[in-house]
Chains A and B, each alone.
Chain A
C-alpha cells in the first residue's frame, strides 16, 4: 500500500523521537516501504550543527543508524530554510510531494489552547498535505 514513507525529524530533540521512529519502522516493515528521514535546519549555527554541511551529515548518520538497527532501507534529506520556525509546515508538505512520498509519519505534541493561535507543525501538515499523515503523540 505504501512505498515511500517520509519521516520529518527534529535533530535538536532526538530524545523525543523514539515513539515516532518506532511507529515508522514498524509500519515500513509491514508494508515493505522505505523510509526517508527529513530534517529542516537553518544556515546559521544552531544547537544541532555549526553549518549546513554538518547538519546534512547528522541526518545521514541518524538515518544509517536507524537502518542498521531495524533493517529498513532508509535515506536522508536535509533542507536548509531561511525561517523554519514559521515555514516548517509548508516545507514538509512540499518536500513530501517533491520526494514522492505516499505517507508521512511524524511526532507532534498534544494539542492545547495555544494551537488555536499558533497551529502545530503536525496539525498543519495533516490539514494541508494530500498524502496520508500519521501523527504520533
Chain B
C-alpha cells in the first residue's frame, strides 16, 4: 500500500503516492495582528499581489489615455499573433481530457484509492457550474448565436487587400438560412462546449491531484513540482501564484463592473430604473454585500447553498423557455446543433491556414484567452470540492456534462432567438447585448415573471462568482491554507468590490479586462506544462477504483 516507507508521509485514504518535500505548508507565512484582527498570509504573495493590484488600478486611472489603448493593443496583438497557439493549446487540453477518460489512468481516485466524495453529485455539479460559466450564459446565450447566424447569412466579403472583412465563421453560408443556423449554433457551442471545460478540467485535475494525492498545498505552484522541483517554493512559485491572484482578481472585478452595467441596463428595461453611476455603484455594493454574507457563512452554508439556488433558478428558466417556446423545435434543435457541432468541430478548431481571420482571432482566440485567464480561479474552486472522485468520473462531470448542458442552453435560448429573428422580430437583433435576453423573453408568454427571474439569476450568478473567487484568492495568498482567518476572505471580497467601483467611476474597466485576458497567454504556456505534470503525476499513482479495492502498488 502506498509508499509510506520511502516518503515518510502517511498515505491519504487508501493507496497513493505522495511527493516527498521538505517544504512545510505555511512555512513562508507571516502570522500577525493588524489592529484586533489576526492574519495568516503567505509572505511575498499576499503583499506583492495586493500592492501590484493597487498600483495597476492607480496607473490605469491616472494615465487612462495612454494605458487603456496599450492594454487593448496588447490583448489584440496576443490574440491575433498567437491565435494558432491558443487554438492548438485548447485542442491539446481537449485531447488530454478525452484520453484520460478512456485510459487506465482514469481509474486513479483523487484523495487516494479509498477516498469517499465530499459532496453529492447535485451540490458538486451546482458549484462547478456556477463558478465555471454562470453569467456568460445569461448574456451570450441569446446574442452569440444571433451574431454568428447573421454574419453567416451575410456571406464572405473580401476587402481591397484580399483579406476577409466579414466576421462569419469558416466559409459562411450566404443566403442559406438552414446552413447559417447550423453553422451559427456550431460556432457558439464550439466556444462554450468542450474546449472551455477542458481548460477548466485540466487545471482543476492538476490541482486536485497534487494537493489530495501528492500532499502539496492547494495553490497553483504545486502543479509545477514535477517540472521545477523544490524551486516552486521560491520565486518561481511566487510568480505563478501572484499571476493567478492577479488574473482572478482583475477578471472578477472587471466582470463585476461590467455586470453592474448590464444588470442596470436590464433593470432599466424592466422597471425603468435609470442607468446612472449611482445605481451601478449600488448594484456592486449589493452584490458584494451578499457575497460577503456568503463567504462569512462558509463553503457549505453560503457558497454551496447559493450555487444550488442558482441552479434551481436557471433550470426553472430553461424549462420555462423550452415549454412555452417552440418545444419540439428546441428538442430537435438540440440534436441537429450537436450534429452540426461535431461536423464543424475539426474545421473550427483547426489552428493553421484559416481564411476566417476575423472569426478565429476576434472570437475564438479571444474566448480561449479569456477562459484560460479564468482557469486558475475556476480550477482551484473545482479542485477544492472534488476530493474522492476518480479521474474518469471527474472529467466526465467537468467536461462532458457541462458541455451538453451548454448545448441545450444555447439551443433553447439562442436557437429560439435566431428563429424569432429570422421570422422578422428585429427587436432582438437591434437590442443591446445586456437586454437581448429580456427582449427575447418578451416574445414569450408571462414575460413579467421570466424577466424578473432572469434579472435575479444574473445577480445571483455574480454573487456566486464573487464569493467563490474570494475564497480562491484567499487560499492562494495564504500559501494554500483553506482555514486562514476569516477577516482575510472579507478583505478580498471587499477589495474586489472596491476595485470594481474605482474602475467603474474612473473609467478603465475595458482596459483592465483586456489586461486580465492578456494573462491568458502566459497561463496557456503554464497549462501546457501542467499537462505534462498531470501525466507524470497520474502515472506514479497506484491504479485503483472503489472503496476497499485491492490497490496495485506503483512501479517505483
Which residues of B (78-118) have their CB < 8 Å from a CB of A?
A: 111-112, 118
A47-B111 in contact given A42-B482, A118-B486 (Cβ < 8 Å): no
A64 to B7, CA, bound (A): 24
A53-B13 in contact given A42-B483, A43-B118, A45-B217 (Cβ < 8 Å): yes
A52 & B36 in contact (Cβ 8 Å cutoff): no
A45-B487 in contact given A83-B298, A83-B482, A86-B298 (Cβ < 8 Å): no
A82 & B18 in contact (Cβ 8 Å cutoff): no
Interface size on B, residues (CB 8 A): 42
Minimal Cβ-Cβ distance residue in B for A47? B26
A54 to B13, CA, bound (A): 9
| A44 CB to nearest chain B CB (Å) | 5
Which residues of A (66-124) have their CB < 8 Å from a CB of B?
A: 82-87, 112-115, 118
A57 to B8, CA, bound (A): 13
Indicate the member of A12, A57, A82 with the most B CB atoms within 10 Å: A82
B300 & A45 in contact (Cβ 8 Å cutoff): no
A45 & B215 in contact (Cβ 8 Å cutoff): yes
A85 & B486 in contact (Cβ 8 Å cutoff): yes
Interface of B, helix, strand, loop or mixed by DSSP: loop
Point out the residue from B36, B211, B218 that lies within 8 Å of A112, measured CB to CB. Answer: B36
| A83 CB to nearest chain B CB (Å) | 4
Which residues of B (164-220) have their CB < 8 Å from a CB of A?
A: 211-212, 215-218
A42 to B484, CA, bound (A): 11
- Chain A hits for B63, CB < 8 A: none
Minimal Cβ-Cβ distance residue in A for B10? A54
Indicate the member of B13, B18, B36, B484 with the most A CB atoms within 10 Å: B36
A53 & B11 in contact (Cβ 8 Å cutoff): yes
A86-B216 in contact given A45-B25, A50-B12, A54-B9 (Cβ < 8 Å): no
B215 & A47 in contact (Cβ 8 Å cutoff): no
A84-B483 in contact given A52-B13, A53-B10, A53-B13 (Cβ < 8 Å): yes
4 nearest A-B pairs in the assembled complex, by CB-CB distance:
A50-B215, A86-B298, A114-B36, A51-B12
Complex A-B: 18 CB contacts under 8 Å: A43-B212, A44-B211, A45-B215, A45-B218, A47-B25, A47-B27, A47-B481, A50-B10, A50-B215, A51-B11, A53-B13, A82-B118, A83-B298, A83-B299, A85-B484, A85-B489, A86-B298, A112-B36
Q: Using a CB–CB distance below 8 Å, which chain B residues touch chain A?
A: 9-13, 16, 18, 24-27, 35-38, 111-112, 118, 211-212, 215-218, 296-302, 384, 387, 480-487, 489
